[in-house]
Amino acid sequence: MVSHGHVSLDHERVVARRGERSGATAIVAIHSTRLGPALGGVRIWSYHDDAEGLHDAIRLSAGMTLKAAAAGLELGGGKGVICMPEGGFADAEARRDALLDFGDLVESLGGDYVTAEDVGASPEDLVTIAERTSHVTGLPADRGGSGDPSPLTALGVERAIEACLEERFGSPDPAGRRIAIVGLGHVGGALAGLLAERGADLAVSDIADASRERAGELGAAWLDPATATESECDVLAPCALGGVVDHASVHRLHCGAICGSANNQLADDSMAAELERRGILYAPDFLVNSGGLINVAREIHGYGAAEALGMVEAIGDSTRRVLARARSESITPLDAARDLASARLGEPERPAADATLPRLVA
């Protein structure tokens, strides 16, 4: 067993089960149901061991509580994980078995947890999970769902970027602004398309060399994935995995603001204060990237495309309020965004600005 760092385990329920069909470990972490059922996608990933997968579920589910609360949703936070063998599942049948096992685990929780798409999972995977449980959202449109939420996640990030540009440079217009997008997956690719249409000076990066073709289509400069976060830019938009700002990388940043779709962009909360000291504006990821969550959340109570779009558009206004409060009270945007979430959760007010807050990630 290896150590994966410290996380604060204030969860309502954490369940891990080895699948009867697949033998793969499935995990669900329910952080909070105070505002409603815990919603959070299922991550399908190859981990060093099951303990690492458990750590991932625990930290990500806590972030989902903040995201749902800050977005004004009547939902709690949860996360699912399927620990995939190194190198992937042996074949399609093995993958299907693991998905069915996960569906059984979700069903056993009696609706306290609702699953959706996350890293490594697809809408088609959700269809398989739905064979074993009704507590699934984000299904393809031909199965009664709203389809891929990535475009709405990207739209929410674009609105948050506008708020950051306005706060940092005085205008929300991305035209001519150097924006570096790290990760050209579903969300990063959609975001790049939106910003290219508005005349942003784009620089992009992805670990997949095939994404170079997409960069060419967008007229974007290509960045070396190993050093992409160090690029000189007005806005750095991390849109892949988290932890990109840590004690080493924070001193190599050359951006005016950080605003992207990746979860848990800060390796730990102390990075928020360090970014502030360096004069780098940080838009908290759980506020910025909630568009997809808002979209799939609307399915639970009856989907309305116009209502979902309106809530996603409002991410820009929420980001402006958070940034304005941070400025006026001399606190970090992370503190201000947490205050917004805590107010909805009915939690005590944030301690003094120089106090050490509980960590969201290890």
**Catalytic (active-site) positions:** 79
What values do phi and psi take at 354, rounded to 5? Answer: -95, 5
Residue 287 token pair:
């506020």
Give dist(CA 297, CA 337) in Å, integer: 20
Cβ within 8 Å of residue 96, ≥6 positions away: 128
Between CA 151 and CA 190 the distance in angstroms is 6
Strands (E), 183-259: 201-205, 221-222, 232-238, 254-258
What kind and span of H or E run contains 180? strand 178-182
What is the Cα–Cα distance from 358 to 338, expressed in whole angstroms?
Answer: 11
Separation of alpha carbons 264 and 261, rounded Å = 9
C-alpha distances (whole Å) from 137 to each of 53, 127, 296, 307 are: 22, 10, 6, 17
Strand 113-117 relative to strand 38-45, pairing:
parallel
Q: How far is CA 93 from the centre of its chain?
A: 29
Residue carrying the six token digits 């976060």: 229
Q: Give CA separation, 66 vs 38, 59, 297, 335, 341, in Å.
A: 11, 11, 15, 12, 6
Round to the nearest angstrom and report the end-to-end CA distance of the chain.
Answer: 17
What is the 3 state secondary structure string of 118-149?
Answer: CCCCCHHHHHHHCCCCCCECCCCHHHCCCCCC
